[in-house]
Structure 1
Amino acid sequence: MTGPIRHDSHILETKSRKFFEKNVPDEWVINTPTHDYGIDYQVEIAINNQMTGLNFSVQLKSTSISKSIDNISVPLKRSTIAYYFSRLEPVMLVIYNSEDDEAYWSWIHELAIDLTKSNETFTVSISKKKKLTTINWLNIKEFIQAIFNKRSFLEYIDLETLSSTQIAAWKSFYSGAYEQAIFLFKQLQLDNNDNSITQALAWSYYLTHNYKDALLTVNRLLDNVQNNYLLQVKACILTEFGIRTENKGMILSGKMIFEKFISSDSDSLHLYNYANALGALGDDASAAKYYHLSLEINPNNAECWKNLGTIYWNLQQHDEELKCYDNALSINPSLIEALFSKGVTLSKIYNKHQDAIKLFSSVIENEDLLLKNFPKGYFWIAYAYENNGELLEALKWVNKGLDFLPSEISLLNFKSTLLAKNWEQHPYLKQDAIDFFRYRIDLHNDPLSIYHYIKVCNYTEQQAFYFIKEKFPQVININWEEFQHLGFSDKCLMDSLVNIDLFIQFKKTYNSDRYISHLVNPYFPIELEFWNHFDIITLISFTKLIRSSTEINGVECCKVYSDSFPILLKILIPQKEFSNEDTVEILAFIMINLPTIAFREIGAQAGYLQGMMSIEPLDPATYITKEWEEELNEKIFSTTADLLNIELSE
């Protein structure tokens, strides 16, 4: 029985193919694809025997039985339909019925199929009124051209009126060969300043990510002609250009243009583009609303589901987020953004690192796609491997990312943390750590890399001091012995590296010169040496003040001043003889001004940090206590009296 069935099936398939080929216009080219997803033909439309790049795919099904008078039905697998919806060109379903010796046709997207449903197969029906023998191929050509033009917001172009050179240019455009299209359109512009050509040139620049030339081209065109199609091209360019360059003004301008075309009868594409702009501006609630509206019209837009998932990530609604990614992948199983986004969420939020790695692996097989579409994905691959306990795999993938994006901060920080945590337990990483931290120091003088470099090189305290001094000469202008004399250790300086960049920014606003009025006096000059030592004290106090990213530690900060300010007096007051009258004046001057400088500096540092780090204000009375004030005043008084040789009575 098996033999005859195969024979009958083969005969039926042969008859259906001959029937279809016989009914397609002779000049149109019919190709047989080589993939396994059920596409039987790819038909490229020709005009005057010239290929145009306009094309559609055909799924050809056959049956010998028709149970309905009005319709003909066939089952289609979910995976097959998902493949059809992921294709750029339209897909025509043709069902040949040998009983009628007729074929019936429909566009796949016109069938009532919702891939977000859980069906493994879908039964699709075509009306028997839609006969292949009565099809209007001119209408098909116009429909295909309209579909292709809609993607780039082009008005109708009558290809039959164009020259061979012009058709060649449009063929490159419609075929997705945008670099070639740019070359040909620019040549055509020399002889023919056609608006459609200029608009297609702008769109070609846009799709090759040359946003600057795309914007310049569309703006030049808008100087001469205004229409809705051009404005939508400009909106797309502005939005994407703004996202890539983090230019909020561009995104906002794109959003304002999209708004003009939003109405109760907007199609899914307009709603989708508008939602993209809203999402880029951080308006997650509105973006979610318009993504949903778009999906109500077209539930089979995989990119829309993926972007809605990103919005739910922002809103921390991760269960809903994963549902969106699953819907996107049920429509287009190879959508790289959805694969990666789902993997990131599984790893980062749900700690399902192995599941994430499985998702990533389906993209890793094609690294060119990874580099082109999701270069920061290397970070998440490395993140999942590290948290899955696979250290070497994590290191391999972060290195791959840095080969492509050598200055990407997320990758740099990931590798820094990975090496800092593991080089001691895994000695084979030591040289890699030395080389990498040195690279980061040379790249942008990264303070944490300096910290780790000193650790991994096992520098002595003195070596560490001079290495830090070499890297931050604007802060450290004293020698090792002077640093020790102030009562500080190398640990104090090493700890300061964590926040030294923030301290440097603080000093630009609150420089030490603001204390001149508290120090100028007729008895001695204020030497540069004093300011160099003062900067070190304020650096250490600044470091002590930061307990964490959410709390300040005023007690330790105050202690720096009570311990180090008396030592600073030995630099401030010269070793020479003063008259009794002068010594009294100097003592009074010091007792008024030195504590004031300490109070002002502590207050400035605390206020700055509370503002910069969004730390809740801390009542100064909790750390600037009466006991501390008394201790500070007593130490300043006794040190000053000793330096001035004032004998104090018991």
Structure 2
Amino acid sequence: MDLHSHEEEIVCYDKALKINPNLPQALFSKGVTLSHIYKKHTEGLSLMLKSNEYEEEMMNGFPIGYFWIAYTYEKLDKIDESLRYIDKGLSIDPENLFMLDFKTNLLAFNFDKNDKLKNIAIAFFEYRLELDNHFKSLYYFIKAKEIHDENTILELLKKYTAIVKFADLGTFTKCELKLPDLLKFLLHYDKYLTLRQTYPLSRYLNHLISPNHSISSEFYEIMDLIFAKSFSDAIEEYYKAGNMKLIGEEILNGLSFLPNAIFELIPNEEYTQDEAVAIMAHTYLEYPNIAVCELGIQIGLITGNFGLEKVDPADILSDSWYEEFRENTLIYINL
């Protein structure tokens, strides 16, 4: 199995089962491979359940086995049975992240099928938030609870994440941003935090710093949210097709909102004509460089982490996008 020689793997199981047709480990392992590798879910599930009949105690020392049964039931679109078995696994190993993530995803994609599943999902997402501040669970908790009030959403973000501490709804209104439109950053916020550990926002300080005004914490939070959303959207696109051009376009779509943050970057103060000209010139020249740099960082991390072929960000960044970004930068500076 580890060598991915699955035909030889099946031969080995069959030899073992010829000696002992009821050998639980061989029955279960063959069932997993038939389901996971060969997509023969019905046949694979039958073998896994049969092994359980002969030695149910085996599963107490191998709770991840319940994951494989749950996985196969999910593939057969038997969600209630899938939940039943993943709960069996979690009852033995309640903090197993692999099984917790499986249940999170299972409920995330199925909670809207009926009220029973929705109630189970809400309770479980709440449990995961209390257990480990699970960001994806926060996103789906908001969706399942149908929370649209921006004040409530902001309170939840402040409680369970560190991305918003100082900004209030007035900040988002000023920047013409709707908080619900940014929420997808939660889907891959854990990966984004890893990116920011290596490439902190402080690297952009030289592009932003001005002798004429200070930079507010609220601005950094808005910029952080825009970057996190573009990164999350790019990873979602990777899972759809793995096309690097489309991934890059998702990043650019997210970065297009960066000029909105200029409303928070430059305070609404009275400036002399020379100060105003200096601020406008500096922002117009440097602000696009931030977007280009962030594009390169996000593309580099995604290609490296997911084993994609490296691409030159210049091949994704079109002249038309860059010119539109510069034009929007100029428009927002003048507003």
Shorter-chain TM-score: which interval?
0.7 to 0.9
- 1:467 alignment counterpart: 156
CA contact (8 A) 2:104 2:137 kept: yes
Instruction: State the alpha-carbon separation in 2 of the partners of residues 608 and 443 from structure 1.
Output: 29
> How far off its partner does 1:402 sit?
0.9
- 1:287 alignment counterpart: none
> How far off its partner does 1:631 sit?
2.1
Measured at CA, do residues 584 and 428 of structure 1 come closer, stay the same or move farther in structure 2, by a change above 3 Å? closer
- 1:154 alignment counterpart: none
- RMSD (Å) for aligned C-alpha atoms: 2.6
2:211 corresponds to which of 506, 514, 522: 522
1:579 corresponds to which of 258, 272, 278: 272
Instruction: State the alpha-carbon separation in 1 of the partners of residues 41 and 105 from structure 2.
Output: 19
- 1:596 alignment counterpart: 289
Please, which moves more after superposition, 319-328 or 480-489?
A: 480-489
> How far off its partner does 1:400 sit?
1.2
CA contact (8 A) 1:529 1:571 kept: yes
> How far off its partner does 1:513 sit?
1.3
Instruction: State the alpha-carbon separation in 1 of the partners of residues 299 and 97 from structure 2.
Output: 29
> How far off its partner does 1:476 sit?
5.8
Instruction: State the alpha-carbon separation in 1 of the partners of residues 301 and 45 from structure 2.
Output: 43
Q: How does 1:527-606 map to 2 (within 5 A)?
A: 527-546=216-235, 547-549=237-239, 550-552=242-244, 553-565=247-259, 567-606=260-299
| Unaligned segments of structure 2, at least 5 residues | none
Measured at CA, do residues 520 and 340 of structure 1 come closer, stay the same or move farther in structure 2, by a change above 3 Å? same
**Percent identical across equivalent pairs?**
35
> How far off its partner does 1:496 sit?
1.3
Over alpha carbons, which structure has the higher Rg? 1
Instruction: State the alpha-carbon separation in 1 of the partners of residues 177 and 308 from structure 2.
Output: 27
2:91 corresponds to which of 395, 403, 406: 403
Instruction: State the alpha-carbon separation in 2 of the partners of residues 419 and 364 from structure 1.
Output: 25
Q: TM-score, normalised by structure 1?
A: 0.47
Q: Work out whether 1:511 is the aligned partner of 2:228.
A: no
Instruction: State the alpha-carbon separation in 2 of the partners of residues 632 and 495 from structure 1.
Output: 23
Measured at CA, do residues 494 and 520 of structure 1 come closer, stay the same or move farther in structure 2, by a change above 3 Å? closer
Q: How does 1:164-313 map to 2 (within 5 A)?
A: 313=1
* Alpha-carbon displacement from aligned partner over 1:528-551 (angstroms, at most 9, x marks no partner): 232222222222332344421434
Instruction: State the alpha-carbon separation in 1 of the partners of residues 77 and 278 from structure 2.
Output: 69
Instruction: State the alpha-carbon separation in 2 of the partners of residues 628 and 352 from structure 1.
Output: 46
* Alpha-carbon displacement from aligned partner over 1:514-573 (angstroms, at most 9, x marks no partner): 2222233322222323222222222233234442143443334334444432x3233222
Report the AA paired with residue 548 of structure 1. Answer: Y
Instruction: State the alpha-carbon separation in 2 of the partners of residues 414 and 573 from structure 1.
Output: 44
Instruction: State the alpha-carbon separation in 2 of the partners of residues 573 and 406 from structure 1.
Output: 49
Instruction: State the alpha-carbon separation in 1 of the partners of residues 291 and 38 from structure 2.
Output: 49
Instruction: State the alpha-carbon separation in 1 of the partners of residues 306 and 154 from structure 2.
Output: 28
Report the AA paired with residue 421 of structure 1. Answer: F
Please, which moves more after superposition, 546-555 or 402-411?
A: 546-555
2:44 corresponds to which of 347, 353, 356: 356
Report the AA paired with residue 317 of structure 2. Answer: I
1:636 corresponds to which of 306, 314, 329: 329
CA contact (8 A) 2:175 2:261 kept: yes
| Unaligned segments of structure 1, at least 5 residues | 1-312, 644-650
Instruction: State the alpha-carbon separation in 1 of the partners of residues 175 and 268 from structure 2.
Output: 18
Measured at CA, do residues 391 and 578 of structure 1 come closer, stay the same or move farther in structure 2, by a change above 3 Å? closer
Report the AA paired with residue 554 of structure 1. Answer: G
Instruction: State the alpha-carbon separation in 2 of the partners of residues 314 and 523 from structure 1.
Output: 61
Instruction: State the alpha-carbon separation in 2 of the partners of residues 446 and 440 from structure 1.
Output: 6
- 2:126 alignment counterpart: 438
Instruction: State the alpha-carbon separation in 1 of the partners of residues 74 and 252 from structure 2.
Output: 41
Instruction: State the alpha-carbon separation in 2 of the partners of residues 532 and 602 from structure 1.
Output: 18
CA contact (8 A) 1:363 1:370 kept: no
Report the AA paired with residue 502 of structure 1. Answer: K
CA contact (8 A) 1:542 1:557 kept: yes
Q: How does 1:34-433 map to 2 (within 5 A)?
A: 313-365=1-53, 366-372=55-61, 374-433=62-121
Measured at CA, do residues 568 and 398 of structure 1 come closer, stay the same or move farther in structure 2, by a change above 3 Å? closer
Measured at CA, do residues 444 and 551 of structure 1 come closer, stay the same or move farther in structure 2, by a change above 3 Å? farther
Instruction: State the alpha-carbon separation in 2 of the partners of residues 351 and 609 from structure 1.
Output: 28
Report the AA paired with residue 297 of structure 2. Answer: A
- 1:16 alignment counterpart: none
- 1:5 alignment counterpart: none
- 1:78 alignment counterpart: none
> How far off its partner does 1:490 sit?
4.3
Instruction: State the alpha-carbon separation in 2 of the partners of residues 561 and 420 from structure 1.
Output: 27
CA contact (8 A) 2:212 2:279 kept: yes
Q: Work out whether 1:623 is the aligned partner of 2:313.
A: no
3-state SS in 2 of match to 1:314: coil
Report the AA paired with residue 212 of structure 2. Answer: Y
Q: TM-score, normalised by structure 2?
A: 0.86
Measured at CA, do residues 538 and 477 of structure 1 come closer, stay the same or move farther in structure 2, by a change above 3 Å? farther
Measured at CA, do residues 606 and 346 of structure 1 come closer, stay the same or move farther in structure 2, by a change above 3 Å? closer
Measured at CA, do residues 626 and 390 of structure 1 come closer, stay the same or move farther in structure 2, by a change above 3 Å? closer
Looking at secondary structure, tell me which structure has more strand per residue: 1
3-state SS in 2 of match to 1:424: helix
Report the AA paired with residue 265 of structure 2. Answer: L
CA contact (8 A) 2:171 2:218 kept: no
Measured at CA, do residues 534 and 420 of structure 1 come closer, stay the same or move farther in structure 2, by a change above 3 Å? closer
* Alpha-carbon displacement from aligned partner over 1:392-433 (angstroms, at most 9, x marks no partner): 333222211111011223322332233233332232223222
Taking CA–CA contacts closer than 8 Å with sequence separation of 6 or more, which of the two structures ends up with the larger relative contact order? 2
3-state SS in 1 of match to 2:269: coil
Measured at CA, do residues 478 and 345 of structure 1 come closer, stay the same or move farther in structure 2, by a change above 3 Å? same
> How far off its partner does 1:324 sit?
0.8
CA contact (8 A) 1:370 1:377 kept: yes
